[in-house]
Structure 1
Amino acid sequence: MEKLEEALSNKGLTVSSLPQKGRCLFTTRDFSPGEVIISEEPYVSVPNKSAKCEWCFTSTNLKKCSACHLVHYCGNTCQKSDWKLHRVECKVLSKVEKERIKSITPSIRLMVKLYLRRKLQHEKFSCNAHTICDAELKPLGTGLYPVVSIINHSCLPNSVLIFEGRMAVVRAMQHIPKGTEVSISYIEMAGSTVTRQKALKEQYLFSCTCIRCVKLGQNDDIQESAVLEGYRCKDKRCSGFLLRDSGNKGFTCQLCGLFRDKEEIKNIVNEIQSLSEKASFSLSYGHKKDASVMYKMIEKLQLKLYHQFSINLMCTRENLLKILMELQDWKEALKYCRFTIPVYQRVYPECHPLLGLQYYTSGKLEWWLGETEEAYRSLAKAAEILQITHGTNTTFMKELFVKLEEARAELSYKISSKEADDY
């Protein structure tokens, strides 16, 4: 503990305890937006799929461990880096019958590696597992980070956890004054207070008391929940939200008073559910065009039922965006990307990585479609957010800056050419 305190002190941090929270990480100096608060390599980690390098999580040039036939490496460097622990694990795995090897899940392997490393180094501590993601927040694996695990959750966090390879990097998303508790979000932030609290209770066994959650049940919170997860007024000209009436026969618009029958809503919901199952089935068999047609039918039904900022509608449009990009229908994909951005702006903080990545996707699509001015604006917004959440030195960010500079240069050329023609 003394070594930990000394190491944290050098970084402008300290560990304190708070009632009902336990250990917390506090700042002992100011941190600026984008500044690294702490970075940490995993104590143990495993990829989420067997067809990934055990050490760096890449999926190219892989070779199986000749003894256990479960673990892969992309080369000698990664194998040597992991060998001290894996040679012990390998002795265990090599004794398992080949047909049973396939049933060993990443979570089981993580626990095995944790046990073996503690046994080798005689260390004891408690920590939570974190999903290791790439720069675009796509899951790669799972790791245990003892120091990062001290950081508590908030639904309005002042910091963000991003991974650079396997390294966990926590950066400030805003100015953090000296003496402030460092917080990150453990869960998906796009949801009502009730939904967030339910997720935290089920996954982490606690209730959040952040400044967003203490508003639970207040008028603003009820309205926000109804917009994000409830139903819209039947009158398309009205922007009101619905609440269940006292007789439980339907819902009443809180703006214009128009009643909406419960059976009508139930029928639309059932139709959406049926189409969603068919769309998922089509996707599972690789029928992407069929799935896109069904998701557009779902979208049409949802527009009758939900607000434009509905989380359900947003998820449908995210699915369509992903499918359309895989189908290389860039124009249609851009349309759906643009649909999602206003919702992202509402449900995420202004410096959230998901918002930055959505601007990045929009910028790439606009660039491919020759919409240079729009591409430059989108990429500039992406860079403004992501240089805070992701830093500036990673390969991903360097590629973003190159794209931004190319868009700026082409836009400047187009403007100067137009001015010359006008002259």
Structure 2
Amino acid sequence: MIPSSILNQNNRTNELIKLYKENYYNSKGIELRTSNNSDKDLGVFSTRKFKKGEEILSNIEPYVHSVPQHNIVCDYCLKNKNNENLNTTISLKRCTGCKLIYYCSIDCQKKAWPIHKHECKILLAAAQESLQINKPINTKSTVMLLRIFIKRMLEIQNSNHIDKTGQFEIIDYLLNHKEERVNDNYKSFSMGICQQLNEDPSKAPIVLEYLLKLEPNCITIPKCEASTIGLYPLMVFFNHSCKPNLSILNNKKELKIICNRDINENEELFINYSPSICYSNERREMLKQCFFFDCKCELCLKDELEKSMDLYILCNKCNKGRVNIWYDENKNRIVKCLNCSSDHNADEILKKNLITTKLQKCLDQFINQNSELNIDEFKLLLNQYCKQFYYTDPLFYEIVNKTDLFFQDFNKEIETNQMKHYHQRYQALLKHHFLDTQNLQYEYCRQLVDYSNILIQIGYFKEALGILKLLNKTLSKINYYGFNQEYLISMENELSFNIDANYYQHQ
């Protein structure tokens, strides 16, 4: 099942450019060529002008994919039993063979069977072995590798050793960054895969090659369970920018790429690999650790030039500006409000910033140790934080999403007026980062869809109606591209009718 070798990397660039031109990009108005950043790197470029909202690629399926928590996601269509339409209950059924993979329907199970029948017994054996040695199985990497090898094996069997799509050949040509990443854990895992497949141990280096290709070239599939990943050969050469000119939309695992602004001919096309809301130093560090490059995009070059500490302290002089610390070209430290330009004491600003360390510690204990959150301590810290920190501070986004701040347990503990302030802060935070900073209208609208559903669930019906009106107004300017217009408008109309008829007791 494991290939006997991988493609020679000699002449890799020319072969890939030819393959993409012949099989994929020729009629799309885009082409693969050497990137502006390096004569060794490849990038995707426009060969004509594109309008905002115009489609670059559509119906992009992953070569393989894997989900992190099998018991809450259908392994074939990626329906999540927790995050679907609020009026629908999804029941997942476990495969009786491997007892690991789940499906939402017989139809999905049948569609997955051509691949799963080859991995089923292997996954069962791997799970049993992990129980015996009391060590959890790395199911995500195991499943991805198995499916790559199985799919390639089936392609060879069905096409007389010719890969008609060229997608496996693309995977073969991917860089693996072996020098930065190889360690004993990777080598041990690769040897374990050989044992599970009853393959010659001499093939372990080949397994290692594919394992190292996977991690930096997979993408997290939007709006699926966190860390659901897919390997999309047609996507791997779109380079990164923290302020991209493309957006990725998806219907479960099927992706499409659209322009989020007008694009000129011969312009390189970028997507975003990093979280849209995070501190700039965290963003750059994540890109370095996960993708092995120092980002030189517009936002990162600005941060690098300013040598900013990326602080978000609220100015106590104008009460509506952000105080940050940065260094000028002569290495002089500057501590100023970005709104009123008032000077501030660096020690006082750094002392205020310690609140974020305490809040982060609370979050880490809650998330990593599965310990109960100390509500009283958390409330006190959060209240201090919101009084002293500017609303665009990224930590608040993490707090909302990792603690379920807006849901029932916190609604009982936090005063109504304070909770309304948190909602206002969250809305302003989304607008600043997605719209004002990065011009990501589609991502902003996706966030609003999720947020409106949260508001409905917690009984903030009037507020949800306001968000839906804002959402539909924003989407009408971009033709609802990739969104279900009828569903969103019907949600707005139904909410409006029920509120007017006093069917809802709203806040």
Task: Output the TM-score relative to the length of structure 1.
Answer: 0.77
What one-letter code is carried by the residue in structure 1 that aligns with 2:44? L
The 1:277–1:103 alpha-carbon spacing in structure 2 relative to 1, beyond 3 Å, is same
* Counterpart pick for 2:96 among 49, 53, 66: 66
Tell me the distance in 1 between the aligned counterparts of 2:74 and 2:447: 28
Q: CA deviation at 1:114?
A: 1.7
Question: What is the CA–CA distance in structure 2 between the aligned matches of 1:277 and 1:305, rounded to whole Å?
Answer: 18
Distance 2:285 2:365 in 1: 28
- 2:384 alignment partner, one of 298, 301, 319: 301
The 1-side partners of 2:170 and 2:357 are apart by: 45
Structure 1 partner of 2:182:
none
Q: Please state how far the C-alpha of 1:406 moved relative to its aligned partner.
A: 4.8
Shift of 1:169: 1.5
Alignment-derived partner of residue 5 in structure 1:
21
Q: Distance in 2 between matches of 1:64 and 1:342?
A: 42
Q: For residue 41 of structure 1, what is the amino acid of its counterpart?
A: E
What pairs with 1:86-101 in structure 2 (closer than 5 Å)?
Answer: 86-96=116-126, 98=128, 100=130
1:321-336 matched pairs, under 5 angstroms? 322-327=404-409, 329=411, 334-336=420-422
Please, which runs of 5 or more residues in structure 2 have no aligned partner? 1-15, 82-89, 157-167, 175-216, 502-507
Write the distance in 2 (CA, Å) between the matches of 1:345 and 1:35: 23
Amino acid at match of 1:130: I
With over 3 angstroms needed to count, the CA separation of the structure-2 counterparts of 1:171 and 1:408, relative to structure 1, is farther
CA contact (8 A) 1:50 1:71 kept: yes
How far apart, CA to CA, are the structure 1 residues paired with 2:439 and 2:43? 25
Label 1:36 to 1:294 Cα distance change in 2 as closer, same or farther (>3 A): farther
Identity %: 20
Counterpart code for 1:343: L
Partner AA of 1:133 in structure 2: P
User: For residues 199-214 of structure 1, what are the structure 2 equivalents within 5 Å?
Assistant: 199-214=286-301
Shift of the 338–306 alpha-carbon distance from structure 1 to 2, 3 Å rule, reads closer
Paired residues for 1:212-223 under 5 Å: 212-218=299-305, 221=306
Q: Retained in 2: the 8 A contact 1:27–1:179?
A: yes
Q: Which of 39, 43, 62 is the equivalent residue of 1:24?
A: 43
**Native 8 Å contact 2:462 2:499 kept in 1:** no
The one of 243, 264, 267 equivalent to 1:180 is 267
1:259 aligned to 318, 342, 345, which one? 345
In 2, Cα distance between equivalents of 1:69 and 1:261: 57
Alpha-carbon distance between aligned partners in 2 of 1:199 and 1:279, rounded to the nearest angstrom? 19
Deviations 1:333-391 (A, max 9, x none): 55423212333333232334442244445656489433698456423345347756x52
Match in the other structure for 2:177: none
Counterpart AA for 1:298: L
> Residue by residue, what CA displacement relative to the aligned partner does 1:156-196 show, whole Å, maximum 9, x if unpaired?
11111122111121111112233322211000133454443
**Pairs within 5 Å for 1:282-361:** 291=375, 293-303=376-386, 305-316=388-399, 322-327=404-409, 329=411, 334-348=420-434, 349-360=438-449
8 Å contact from structure 1 (residues 272, 301) kept in 2: no
Q: Secondary structure at 1:168's aligned position in 2?
A: strand
Task: Check the 8 A contact 1:16/1:23 in 2, yes or no.
Answer: yes
CA distance in structure 2 between the aligned counterparts of 1:375 and 1:304, rounded to whole angstroms: 25
The correspondence of residues 17-416 of structure 1 with structure 2, limited to 5 A, is 17-18=34-35, 20=38, 22-39=41-58, 40-51=60-71, 52-58=73-79, 59=81, 60-96=90-126, 98=128, 100=130, 103-122=137-156, 123-126=168-171, 128-134=217-223, 139=226, 141-191=228-278, 193-218=280-305, 221=306, 225=308, 228-233=310-315, 235=317, 237=319, 239=321, 241-243=323-325, 252-253=335-336, 255-261=341-347, 265-266=350-351, 273-274=357-358, 276-278=360-362, 281=365, 291=375, 293-303=376-386, 305-316=388-399, 322-327=404-409, 329=411, 334-348=420-434, 349-360=438-449, 365=455, 368-370=460-462, 374-375=466-467, 377-384=469-476, 391-392=482-483, 394=484, 397-406=485-494
**Counterpart of 1:10 in 2: which secondary structure?**
coil
Is the alpha carbon distance of 1:93 and 1:343 closer, same or farther for their aligned partners in structure 2, counting shifts above 3 Å? Answer: closer
- Aligned pair in 2 of structure 1 residues 5, 110: CA closer, same or farther (>3 Å)? same
Q: Matches of 1:188 and 1:97 in 2, distance apart?
A: 32
Q: 1:162 to 1:233 in 2, by over 3 A?
A: same
Distance 1:245 1:133, change over 3 A: closer
| Contact 2:67 2:75 (C-alpha < 8 Å) held by counterparts | yes
Q: RMSD between aligned alpha carbons? A: 3.9
CA distance in structure 2 between the aligned counterparts of 1:207 and 1:385, rounded to whole angstroms: 35
Given that residues 234 and 260 in structure 1 are in contact (C-alpha distance below 8 angstroms), is that contact kept between their aligned partners in structure 2?
Answer: no
Report SS of the residue matched to 1:42: coil
Moved more, 137-146 or 277-286: 277-286
User: Do 1:49 and 1:106's aligned partners in 2 also have CA atoms closer than 8 Å?
Assistant: no
**Distance of aligned partners of 1:316 and 1:96 in 2 relative to their CA distance in 1, 3 Å threshold:** closer
Are the structure 2 counterparts of residues 257 and 182 from structure 1 closer, same or farther at C-alpha, using a change threshold of 3 Å? closer
Shift of 1:154: 1.0
Asked if structure 2 preserves the Cα contact closer than 8 Å seen for 1:232 and 1:242, the reply is no
Structure 1 CA distance for aligned equivalents of residues 497 and 277 of structure 2: 36
Q: 2:325 & 2:463 partners in 1: Cα distance? A: 43
One-letter code of the match for 2:170? F
Distance 1:328 1:282, change over 3 A: closer
| Amino acid in structure 2 at the alignment position of 1:325 | F
Contact 1:54 1:72 in 2 (8 A): yes
Q: Is the 8 A contact 2:67 2:140 kept in 1?
A: yes
- Name the aligned partner's letter for residue 153 of structure 1: H
* Contact map agreement 2:448 2:471 (CA 8 A) in 1: yes
8 Å contact from structure 1 (residues 356, 386) kept in 2:
no
1:161 alignment partner, SS class: strand
Letter in 1 for 2:33: S
Paired with 2:324 and 2:227, the residues of 1 have a C-alpha distance of 40
**Change in 2 beyond 3 A, CA 1:129/1:314:** closer
In structure 1, give the amino acid aligned to 2:440. C
Distance 1:118-1:328 versus aligned 2 partners, 3 A rule:
same
Question: What SS does structure 1 have at the residue aligned with 2:407?
Answer: helix
- Answer yes or no: is the 8 Å Cα contact 1:362–1:378 preserved in 2: no
**Is the alpha carbon distance of 1:261 and 1:245 closer, same or farther for their aligned partners in structure 2, counting shifts above 3 Å?**
farther
Structure 2 length as normaliser, TM-score? 0.66
SS at match of 2:287: helix
Q: Could you say if the C-alpha distance between residues 186 and 280 of structure 1 is closer, same or farther in structure 2, counting changes exceeding 3 Å?
A: closer
